[in-house]
Structure 1
């Protein structure tokens, strides 16, 4: 296999990995109510950011908070599915793993809410 063929093969693998990632996102979006809620809140936060003309630094913080919550929600789903695959019984360790994963989303969501309040409240007061 020549260098050109090898690069083409690597590019195809890269495209496949993006397709798998997109498939995972769509699966979680279709089947997880909390992920759907977070996506709706993301759209609202982005719309508010444009409407209230937040600064570049504020955009960094909002996008970082959104990415953290959505990423952790995806990981939470992955952990829940994996635990369900391993055991259908109620086991204390399985419950602990699921609860810890859900807790990580909760912590990120609280932090995102606080970041949103710190950024948007003064702008909303000014806007109104």
Structure 2
């Protein structure tokens, strides 16, 4: 039992180290964090159902996760080599696209919820 607790603890430390690295090195994560605070407050202030509120808050967190994965892709690609390669560019562009598509999805959710409030 104690060993399992220590494994969970170690995984949490590694996860926090990864998030902290992205926070320190990627300005886009800071921008997403600021937007999460703003839109999170809006989600808490608007008269939304628990499901709507949860979906919107979760969407913001998923964008942060996508940004962390994008950074991981960039680090691995850069570690392999710094020369310009088509495959490296494609990998980085696909990671960036994942963040953009996630953000678009959350934007669609916000528009849907706001339109529902206006009806």
TM-score (norm 1): 0.85
2:47 paired with 1:53: yes
Question: 72, 80, 87: which is aligned to 1:93?
Answer: 87
Counterparts of 1:65 and 1:72, CA distance in 2: 10
2:3 paired with 1:9: yes
Give 1:3's aligned residue.
none
Bigger Rg, structure 1 or 2: 1
Runs of 5+ consecutive residues of structure 1 not aligned to the other structure: 1-6
Runs of 5+ consecutive residues of structure 2 not aligned to the other structure: none
Structure 1 residues 8-47: aligned runs within 5 Å: 8-47=2-41
Question: 63, 70, 78: which is aligned to 1:76?
Answer: 70
Q: How much has 1:118 moved relative to structure 2?
A: 2.2
Give 2:109's aligned residue.
115
2:58 paired with 1:64: yes
Q: Deviations over 1:61-109 (max 9, x none)?
A: 2123113211111100000000000011000000000001100111111
Moved over 3 A (4+): 120-123
Paired positions, count: 119
Counterparts of 1:91 and 1:15, CA distance in 2: 39
Q: How much has 1:39 moved relative to structure 2?
A: 0.7
TM-score (norm 2): 0.90
Q: How much has 1:122 moved relative to structure 2?
A: 5.5
